[in-house]
Amino acid sequence: MQAIDLFSGSGGMSVGAAMAGIDVRYAVELDKHAAATFSLNHKSTILLNQDIRKVTSTQFHGLDKKQHKIIFGGPPCQGFSTSNQKNRDKNNENNWLYKEYLRLVGEARPDWVVFENVKGLLETENGFFLDAVLDGFKELGYTTSHFVLNSADFGVPQKRNRLFIVGSLHGIELDKPKPTVKKHRTVKDAIYDLPELDNGDAPDITEYARDAETTYAKAMRKKLVQCGNNVVTLNAPHIVKRYSHIPQGGNWEDIPKRLMGNYTDVSRCHTGIYRRLKEDEPSVVIGNFRKNMLVHPWRDRGLSVREAARLQSIPDWFRFAGSIGFQQQQVGNLVPPLLAKEIFLNIKNIMD
């Protein structure tokens, strides 16, 4: 199968598609920093670094007419996120970009579509946007299935719920994929072999701290002896001091109030702020992990970009471009490849 990745970001879903043996021929991404990372890692894919509203299907002229086509991707999801209570409604301009997705599907007429987004799409405006997407695919002649999947059930060491809408131009309904692991992978399974870093360290490429001991770590490393993106935000001393009071699984509530003096009302802090990861469980959601001040399980610092990437199931050969802030944003926005891979494998199995 050949594919087009819309709203590709840095390419998490494309990594998952490649894992499933799908040839990603084209991608569309407006953000120049995410586009730079995509191009760095997907050299055989033609990337259109353009506003999707100006893209037409005539630009996908290199597709093989004899091969089945699939269009996948997800419009910006911040407007649908349950953590966004300011403009999670019809007035958010980005919430309407799904129409561009539908337009290109209508023009290109792929055999399959995979529309990915946050679970909050189910609830925003009482399901208005979900119904609009489903109705849009139906009007184009697609039979759809939709379901919410937890990435931890598919080998990703992170609890992350994502909504998938799968459409078939040939009247096929896709069953909800069954979990691929009986036991969830943990934070320690994922990052224990990675370089040992301190607050503010930024060696980028460096050797691993120890041999990979878990199946997961071995799969992420392959035969590499070094890995990149080992960069950690430099937090101020008073922030690091706060970290020292937080046990695994704890959050800002474990920090003495005398150390939280810069907060007007500390009781209004979000429960996810200053969350120290538990080493023996999957990670909490890797979103904006710098803003949320996610804390390393056994060191008093934030997560490195590579550690966050491991928790997203991004292989170690994958490199993130740009400043540390842009790298962190790209990691947080990714769709875990191991989760995406399962969707694509289920589609391929039906086609076979």
Distance between CA 121 and CA 79 in Å, rounded?
Answer: 9
Question: Alpha carbon of 146 to those of 16, 101, 279: distances in Å?
Answer: 19, 17, 32
Contacts of 41 (CB under 8 A, 6+ apart): 10, 11, 15, 317, 318, 319
Contacts of 330 (CB under 8 A, 6+ apart): 9, 10, 33, 34, 37, 320, 322
Residue 317: burial class (beta carbons within 10 Å; 0-12, 13-18, 19+): middle
Structural tokens at position 245: 């009071």
Check if 227 is active-site: no
The residue annotated as part of the active site, out of 52, 70, 77, 339, is 77
Active site residues: 77
